[in-house]
Structure 1
Amino acid sequence: MPRTLAFLRHGQSQWNLENRFTGWVDVDLTEKGEAEARKAGQLLKQEGTEFDGTFTSVQTRAIRTLNLALEEMGECWLPVIKNWRLNERHYGALTGLNKQETREKHGDEQVHIWRRSYDVPPPPLEDSSAFPSLNDRRYRGVDVPKTESLKLCLDRVEPYWNEAIAPAVRDGQNCIIAAHGNSLRALVKLLFEVSDQDITSVEIPTGNPLLIQLDENLKPTAARYLDQDRAQPLPGGF
């Protein structure tokens, strides 16, 4: 029996709008982001898949995106499991900086490496930063990173996939994962077996559900974005 996953990147956030590196800073959605979340819910409802459970991060923009989508679907009753391992990638010392100003200061090539390379993290966040995560009570008992590459992000996402999400899917549940650009890219790399080189060109659009069909071995057999006007290329020829 085929299983269905829906990957949903949060709608536009305030720092998306301001072109700033966000990472673990807990910013909210813009009005456009809220509209994207509602549109995602409408698209999922039109698709007709019966979902059984949902997973999200502990960051407001992802949680609210999921909640708004579920409202549009008429399925606010679905169970929601939140876990920090689905958080956005930690951008280290880049956190809070304007992306264009950072390019002007460090050069396009260096910023491209920090943003898009698979295994080169930005410089770590200083303890004196205005954006610390270490003292946030939602992360009590968590070894909070001070910077992450996509590889390091995958290193924390993969165990959560193996321990929590995959067992639910194997049990026959159709699930929505509402998360972030990089935590979802990490899952795409894992499920589609994307190479380290090719994952650098994979982009997940905001608020556009990616519907994935899986076989009994949790291998993708089909994948497509529900809003084709804002679709991005998918790996594996889908």
Structure 2
Amino acid sequence: MLARLRSPECFRQLSNSARASLLCCYSSSAPLSRPKDFVPSTLILLRHGESVWNSQNLYTGWCDVPLTPLGEVEARTAGRLLDDNGFAFDVCHTSVLKRASFTANMALNMANQHYVNVRKTWALNERHYGRLQGYNKDEAYHELGIDRELLMRMRRTWNTAPPAMEDDHPYWHGNDRRYRDLTEQQLESSRGESLLTTSLRCMDYFQEEVMPDLAQGKCILVVSHANSLRSIIKVLDSISNEAIKVMSVPTGIPMIYRLDENNVPIPPNRLHEYGCEPIGYTWGDERGLGGFRGTYLGDTDRLKSIQGKRDLTNRDWQRIILRKVYDEAVNCETENVVETRNLWWALHAKMGESEEYKNMLLLDKMLTMLEEEAKSRKQRYITREGFDAMIKKLHLDSEGQVVLPFKKVGQGRKREEQIVEFTRLHPEAPEPPLATTNA
């Protein structure tokens, strides 16, 4: 069945459940039909520059907002980096939203490749956030009367959709001529998307329009949005549903993938054939697991800062969950305190609700802390103030544990060593596709 994923028509005709299953267990180990003189193809993923609503912390989705002046600088900087490192694109794919479309144009212009064919499609649009679009991310739960934990699940989990957008919503796109070719089913599903449904429509397009070019060894640029690009990365690197939510996709920083003859990403620390000195970014989920094989071209400190902010958001979500567990446990007690062992059981039950909760760092550490307190009988009861102090301690103690270090790949590697390794892995290639480098 996995082989069918390589056939665009077969993948498109599968049911949603079948395609969802493939997205979760994708493996590109079977050979593709490629020319004998094939050399690794190049896929460059670029998120649009900072938009006005990014800067205002608003749910954007399909709302068509412009870039900020900083976003324009990010787009042009990305193009200059790509040009400086010798990337020559065969085709560019982007969404129909101006922040991505403008970024693609600016990047190509700065790379002196304004003539490259640009294909635009709604299938590469950002995830549609339904009724949340236009609301502040930190205040939407209050303004719309949505449970705060549920709202965080909508933002971070794989298959939780936001409340659907109705026709009278100020940002309803049903009458926009860009979407007039959507089927009734597509239009209905775009009223509010989970990460899963976003990934399905994005990968439909990727399999049908992008993969055939990659199979020919071409250099492809995809300029899109955080969740659309996250979907592609998830499939390429077989990242789990739980782990993908931890990954941050920064605005305006190109990510490079080199794909071998089996369409498998080549780890940059195994074969430095990128023709440049990319930043190798190793990320981890809250257990320090996982990772992707793409490499960034960009500022290491900025990448650390961006991932650190996402780490903080994830821990803030866990603090919300912990406080809710305490509040529910208090309702079962006779007084405004909770017996330690009862709180342990309440948290244990909460973590059993999903694999995602089970793998949350603060929840796991709090469970251990409560167990130690209960066993030692140091603290039989816990007040709200005491519990908040415990949460704060765990929050500070875990700071920085999720973000693993960034490092440059290929440091110290001689060009001769790269050529020898490339020739061994690709004996039928005419010559190693390596640009002059100081590595």
Same fold (TM over 0.5): yes
Query: 1:123 — aligned with what?
Result: 163
The within-5 A match list for 1:73-112 is: 73-104=111-142, 106=146, 108-112=148-152
Distance 1:78 1:198 in 2: 35
2-side partners of 1:229 and 1:210: how far apart? Answer: 16
Q: Residue 11 of structure 1: which of 26, 49, 61 is its match?
A: 49
Aligned letter for 1:101?
E
1:188 correspondence with 2:260: no
Does residue 1:21 correspond to 2:62, yes or no?
no
- Conservation of the 8 A alpha-carbon contact between 2:91 and 2:221: yes
Q: Measure how far apart 1:110 and its partner are.
A: 2.4
Compute the displacement of 1:107 (Å).
5.3
SS at match of 2:241: coil
Deviation at 1:48, TM superposition (A): 1.2
Distance 2:126 2:55 in 1: 16
Structure with more relative contact order (C-alpha pairs < 8 Å, separation 6 or more):
1
Residue in structure 1 matched with residue 287 of structure 2 by the alignment: none
Instruction: Give per-residue Cα distances to partners, 1:148-195, cap 9 Å, x unaligned.
Output: 011000110111111100001111210100000110011111111111
Give the alignment's TM-score, normalised by structure 1: 0.94
Question: 2:137 is aligned with what amino acid?
Answer: K
- The answer to whether structure 1 residue 72 and structure 2 residue 110 are counterparts is yes
**Residue 37 (str. 1) matches residue 75 (str. 2):** yes
The code of the aligned residue for 1:226 comes to: L
Matched, 1:135 2:175: yes
In structure 1, the partner of 2:197 is 152
Whole-Å separation in 1 of the counterparts to 2:210 and 2:135: 33
Matches within 5 A, 1:189-204: 189-204=234-249
Task: Output one character per residue of 1:65-85: Cα deviation in whole Å (capped at 9) or x when no partner.
Answer: 011111110110111011110
> Given that residues 80 and 111 in structure 2 are in contact (C-alpha distance below 8 angstroms), is that contact kept between their aligned partners in structure 1?
yes
> Is 1:166 aligned with 2:238?
no
Alpha-carbon distance in 1 for matches of 2:62, 2:261: 34
Which of 60, 84, 90 does residue 98 from structure 2 map onto? 60
Partner of residue 398, structure 2: none
How far, CA to CA, are the matches of 2:261 and 2:40 in structure 1?
7
Residue by residue over 1:117-141, the C-alpha shift from the partner in whole angstroms, topping out at 9 and shown as x without a partner, is 1110111011110001111001112
Tell me the amino acid that sits aligned with residue 90 of structure 2.
D
* Mapped pair 1:225 → 2:296: yes
1:230 positional shift: 2.7
Bigger drift between 95-104 and 112-121 goes to 95-104
Residue 5 of structure 1: CA displacement?
Answer: 0.8
Instruction: Give the residue type in structure 2 aligned to 1:163.
Output: E
Comparing 63-72 and 222-231, the one that deviates more: 222-231
Q: Judge conservation of contact 2:43–2:221 (CA < 8 Å) in 1.
A: yes
Q: 1:14–1:27: 8 Å Cα contact kept in structure 2?
A: yes
Conservation of the 8 A alpha-carbon contact between 2:234 and 2:244: yes
Paired with 2:95 and 2:57, the residues of 1 have a C-alpha distance of 22
SS at match of 2:232: helix
Q: Percent same amino acid among aligned pairs?
A: 42
Question: Distance between the aligned counterparts of 1:127 and 1:104, measured in 2?
Answer: 22
1:63 partner letter: S
Any idea what SS the aligned residue of 1:197 has?
A: helix
How far residue 8 of structure 1 moved from its aligned partner, in angstroms, is 0.4
Partners of 2:168 and 2:262 in 1: CA distance = 46
* Count of aligned residue pairs for this structure pair: 235
CA contact (8 A) 1:208 1:230 kept: no
In structure 1, what residue type is equivalent to 2:169?
Answer: S
Q: After the TM superposition, which parts of structure 1 deviate over 6 Å for at least 4 consecutive aligned residues?
A: none
Greater alpha carbon shift after TM alignment, 46-55 vs 87-96: 46-55
What is the distance in 2 between the residues matched to 1:113 and 1:166? 32
Cα deviation digits, residues 19-71 of structure 1 (max 9, x gap):
11000111110101000001111111122122211100111000000111111
* C-alpha deviation, 1:94, in angstroms: 0.4
Distance 1:141 1:224 in 2: 36
Alpha-carbon distance in structure 2 between the residues aligned to 1:111 and 1:161? 29
Structure 1 unaligned regions, length at least 5: none
Q: Distance in 1 between matches of 2:262 and 2:149?
A: 40
For 2:302, give the aligned amino acid: R
CA displacement at 1:203 relative to structure 2: 1.2
- Opposite residue 45 of structure 1, the aligned amino acid is D
Cα contact 2:46–2:251 (8 A) shared by 1: yes
Counterpart of 1:161, as a letter, is F
